[in-house]
């Protein structure tokens, strides 16, 4: 995959679609149903609290961290605005980052506030609030929820006809946190090492709220 140039406009569109589970390309019965009621709202402070500290993203209010492959990452406001516009809910929020002048790898962080802490609530998030599906040029190789022992996460892996990959991982906050949150990383492009650092490094810290 090294050396593939991804058109920036196409990347932004791809991120916006992927961030809402390819919702624009999926026609399901869910689309005809009333959207699930919002049970929590992110405050202005929570929306502003994701801090870029060299090569780590930290959200002190929610207590999660996301490592980055290098300290060169900066906010990607164009992609960020597009993704936020797609989400369209007060209990969902997103931040986007990439290395300036590099369209090959983009990192988007999405948080959902209002998670009830249960396996059923985790599944409901992906079925009703942020559903996943298949876009026209996508091959989906993983679309799985894990809720066994200490492993509680969602993973998505897909690849389009150009060979550009999308990786997504979401994890729930510790059960003691009220209201609960779900934190996700959405990665478009990147080499295997970059992807592993960000995807597998997403975690809630022991010192979080």
Q: Which CATH number fits the domain that encloses residue 20? A: 3.40.1000
Residue-wise pLDDT tens digits, 22-77: 333 322 323 334 556 777 999 999 999 999 999 999 999 999 999 999 999 999 99
Residue 103 belongs to some domain of the structure: yes
Residue-wise pLDDT tens digits, 103-123: 789 999 999 999 999 999 999
Residue-wise pLDDT tens digits, 189-202: 999 999 999 999 99
Residue 30 belongs to some domain of the structure: no
Residue 33 belongs to some domain of the structure: no
H or E, element range at 124:
helix 119-124
- Total domains in the chain come to 1
Residue 123 belongs to some domain of the structure: yes
**Paired tokens of 66:** 């996301």
Q: Give pTM, 2 decimals.
A: 0.83
Residue 209 belongs to some domain of the structure: no
Residue 32 belongs to some domain of the structure: no
Measure the CA–CA gap between 61 and 45, rounded to whole angstroms: 9
Residue 12 belongs to some domain of the structure: yes
| 3-class DSSP string for 140-183 | EEEEEEEEECCEEEEEEEEEECCCCEEEEEEEECCCCCCCEEEE
Residue 72 belongs to some domain of the structure: yes
Domain that holds residue 111: 8-24+39-204
Q: Residue 146, CB half-sphere, CA atoms under 13 Å: how many?
A: 13
Rounded alpha-carbon distances, angstroms, from residue 36 to 16, 85, 175? 20, 18, 22
């Amino acid at each position: 995959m090294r050396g593939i140039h991804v058109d920036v406009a196409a990347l932004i569109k791809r991120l916006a679609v992927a961030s809402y589970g390819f919702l624009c390309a999926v026609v399901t019965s869910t689309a005809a149903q009333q959207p699930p009621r919002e049970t929590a709202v992110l405050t202005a402070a929570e929306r502003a609290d994701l801090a870029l500290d060299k090569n780590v993203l930290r959200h002190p209010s929610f207590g999660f961290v996301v490592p980055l492959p290098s300290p060169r990452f900066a906010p990607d406001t164009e992609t960020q605005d597009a993704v936020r516009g797609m989400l369209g809910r007060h209990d969902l929020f997103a931040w986007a980052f990439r290395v300036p002048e590099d369209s090959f790898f983009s990192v988007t962080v999405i948080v959902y506030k209002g998670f009830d802490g249960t396996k059923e609530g985790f599944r409901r998030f992906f079925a009703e609030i942020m559903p996943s599906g298949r876009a026209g040029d996508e091959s989906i190789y993983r679309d799985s929820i894990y809720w066994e022992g200490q492993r509680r996460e969602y993973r998505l892996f897909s690849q389009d006809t150009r060979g550009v990959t999308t990786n997504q991982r979401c994890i729930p906050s510790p059960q003691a946190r009220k209201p609960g949150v779900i934190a996700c990383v959405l990665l478009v492009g990147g080499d295997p090492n970059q992807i592993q650092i960000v995807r597998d490094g997403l975690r809630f810290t022991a010192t979080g709220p």
